[in-house]
């Protein structure tokens, strides 16, 4: 019996050994699977990182001025069609946001409808400005109202600290009692502030009017209020053919520097841009003080992708894109 028991014990050993081998094989397979899975994930992550790096080299992010935005969108559309490997994303935010976002390295290109201020140049000394076009600011009223022309001094009283709506504003079909301006840091407001209150007026200060978001916000506010006046970029007040958009009338400005009263239009604003660029004496056209540059800003040396895009934006080939947005390409007035 002892021998039988011993033999039985010895007989069990191969079975146990086999079970052990099976367990080891299963564990080994799981371990190998885990290792291969980890390796596969690492390879996948590396591949995705490589794809992202490749994508970033052909992607341009633009942010800033709501004035420049429509032109940027048209320019991007044309450029991407001619360069299928390039993706251009355009965002708004205001000229101030355009300067700060590119200065902080958040975007590739910042856009502004004005020059950088002294404070901005001090804060972001490595940001360079590239003018790509030009436009003008116009004053608008509701099209249910009639304002033949308004004197610069009356506009200064209406939008300045006096908060007085006199002259043609008071004698309008519906007397003007409300004024709208941009609520965010904008080149549009900066242009009007300096034009009405003098070159030393600080940006976004001294204008006594109700703030609205963007050019489109001011446009909508005036459309909804017959007793109001506001200001927007020309590109928001006219269509691609140069006709006034529905719901508003553009008000001519009587400025002592201009002989007679010239209605704001694509023709008169372009003439003023040419005079301003040439440092010529003010002619019989829209006041030079209400025209301004459309700028792109780059931090440091632009990449070849960004540089090529800006070169296109400054070229005669970009003029149609600017004109569709109611603005003017640099080649039209340089």
> Are 52 and 67 part of one and the same domain?
no
Q: Clarify whether residues 249 and 267 are in a common domain.
A: yes
Does residue 282 share a domain with residue 221? yes
Q: What is the pLDDT along the chain (334 residues), one digit of tens a residue?
A: 444 333 333 344 443 333 333 333 333 433 333 323 432 333 233 333 333 334 445 899 999 999 999 999 999 999 999 999 999 999 988 899 999 999 999 999 999 999 999 999 999 999 999 999 999 999 999 999 989 899 999 999 999 877 899 999 999 999 999 999 988 778 888 899 889 988 765 544 557 789 898 899 999 999 999 999 999 999 999 987 888 999 999 999 988 766 566 778 888 899 989 988 887 777 667 888 899 999 999 999 999 999 999 999 999 999 999 999 989 999 999 8
Same domain, 139 and 284: yes
Residue 27, pLDDT score: 37
Alpha-carbon span 258 to 188, nearest angstrom: 21
- Residue 212 DSSP one-character state: E
| Same domain membership, residue 327 and residue 182 | no
Q: Output the pLDDT for position 180.
A: 95
C-alpha to C-alpha distance for 58 and 40, rounded to whole angstroms: 27
Please tell me the total count of domains within the chain: 3
Query: Which residue's entry shows tokens 């934006």?
Result: 313
Concatenating the DSSP letter of every residue in 171-206 gives SSSS---EEEEESSS-HHHHHHHHHHH-TTPPTT-S
CATH of the domain at 272: 3.40.190.10
Which residues form the domain of 8?
1-56
What is the predicted pLDDT for the residue at 201?
A: 55
Clarify whether residues 173 and 271 are in a common domain.
Answer: yes
**Is the domain of 82 the same as that of 175?**
no
69 and 50 within one domain: no
Is residue 119 domain-shared with residue 165, that is, in the same domain? no
Q: How far is CA 84 from the centre of its chain?
A: 22
pLDDT value of residue 6: 37
CA gap 61, 244 in Å, rounded: 31
H-type alpha helices, 209-333 = 214-223, 234-237, 266-277, 304-314, 319-324, 330-333
- Look at residue 308 and give its three-state secondary structure: helix
Q: Which of 16, 37, 56 is the last residue of a domain?
A: 56
220 and 95 within one domain = no
Residue 95 near residue 111, CB atoms below 8 Å? yes
Cα torsion 299, 305, 308, 309: sign = negative
């Amino acid at each position: 019996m002892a021998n039988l028991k011993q033999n039985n014990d010895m007989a069990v050993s191969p079975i146990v050994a086999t079970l052990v081998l099976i367990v080891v094989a299963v564990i080994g397979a799981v371990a190998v699977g885990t290792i291969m899975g980890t390796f596969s994930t690492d390879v996948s992550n590396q591949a995705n990182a490589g794809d992202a790096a490749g994508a970033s080299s052909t992607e341009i992010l633009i942010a800033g001025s709501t004035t420049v935005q429509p032109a940027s969108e048209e320019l991007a559309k044309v450029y991407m069609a001619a360069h299928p490997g390039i993706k251009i994303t355009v965002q708004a935010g205001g000229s101030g946001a355009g300067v700060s976002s590119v200065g902080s390295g958040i975007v590739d290109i910042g856009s502004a409808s004005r020059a950088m201020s002294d404070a901005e140049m001090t804060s972001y000394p490595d940001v360079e400005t590239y003018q790509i076009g030009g436009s003008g600011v116009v004053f608008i009223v509701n099209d249910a109202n009639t304002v033949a022309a308004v004197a610069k001094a009356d506009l200064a009283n209406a939008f300045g600290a006096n908060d007085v709506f006199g002259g043609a504003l008071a004698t309008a079909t519906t007397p003007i009692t409300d004024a709208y301006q941009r609520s965010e840091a904008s080149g549009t407001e900066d242009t009007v502030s300096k034009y009405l209150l003098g070159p030393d007026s600080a940006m976004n200060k001294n204008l006594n009017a109700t703030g609205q978001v963007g050019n489109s916000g001011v446009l909508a506010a005036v459309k909804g209020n017959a007793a109001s006046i506001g200001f927007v970029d020309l590109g928001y007040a006219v269509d691609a053919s140069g006709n006034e958009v529905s719901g508003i009338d553009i008000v001519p400005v009587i400025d002592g520097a201009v002989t007679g009263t010239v209605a704001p239009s694509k023709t008169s604003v372009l003439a003023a841009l040419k005079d301003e660029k040439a440092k010529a004496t003010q002619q019989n056209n829209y006041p030079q003080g209400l025209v301004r540059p459309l700028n792109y800003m780059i931090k440091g040396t632009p990449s070849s992708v960004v540089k090529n895009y800006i070169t296109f934006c400054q070229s005669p080939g970009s003029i149609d894109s600017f004109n569709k947005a109611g603005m003017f390409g640099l080649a039209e007035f340089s």
